[in-house]
Amino acid sequence: MTDATEQTQSQQPNVPVLGGLVPGLTVDGAVKAAEFYKRAFGAEQAFLFPPDEQGRTMHIHLYINGSSLMLGDAYPEHGHALEKPQAFTLQLFVDDLDAWWKRAVEAGAEVVMPIDVMFWGDRWGQLRDPFGVTWGMSASVKK
């Protein structure tokens, strides 16, 4: 480890992790993804490890709707290749589904499955972000 890396790591703030299970996504363009998640899902940036000379970062910590989400770029030269997202969906449980949905779609999320009342009783829909990640959004139907 270089002196600059050690110094940068020692200056990292102690940012609390929210939630018991925290997804860590490797995407192509983590800084751009974080900016998109701010616009689409109201994400707040808790921490950003400074990008390298190629614009890649190993770590971004976001807060979305009371939970943490970790992002980073691929580093194939260090054994962390970029893989296409497979068979998972990040699920957001929200109070005002229509407002959250509208903001995400206006930011550029693609509708995969429109909002509908599902067999389990919630209103639910699914989106895909420009980085290939699918997001389910759900709100309980008031009875």
Instruction: For residues 93 and 136, give the distance between their C-alpha atoms in angstroms, rounded to a whole number.
Output: 8
Contacts within 8 Å (CB) and 24+ apart, 50-55: 50/8, 55/29, 55/31
- Predicted local distance difference test score (pLDDT) of residue 86: 81
Provide mean pLDDT across the span 28-46.
97
pLDDT in tens, 88-134: 999 999 999 999 999 999 999 999 999 999 999 999 999 999 999 99
pLDDT at 37 over 50: yes
Beta strand ranges found along 14-133 (DSSP E): 24-27, 44-48, 60-64, 67-73, 89-93, 110-117, 122-128
What average pLDDT is seen over the chain? 90
Do 47 and 60 contact (CB within 8 A), yes or no?
A: yes
Residue ranges and CATH numbers for the domains of the chain are: 20-78 (3.30.720.120), 89-140 (3.30.720.110)
pTM as predicted: 0.86
Report the candidate in 89, 91, 103, 100 with the shortest Cα–Cα distance to residue 133. 89
Sequence-ordered list of residues with C-beta below 8 angstroms from that of 66, at least 6 positions apart, any chain: 18, 19
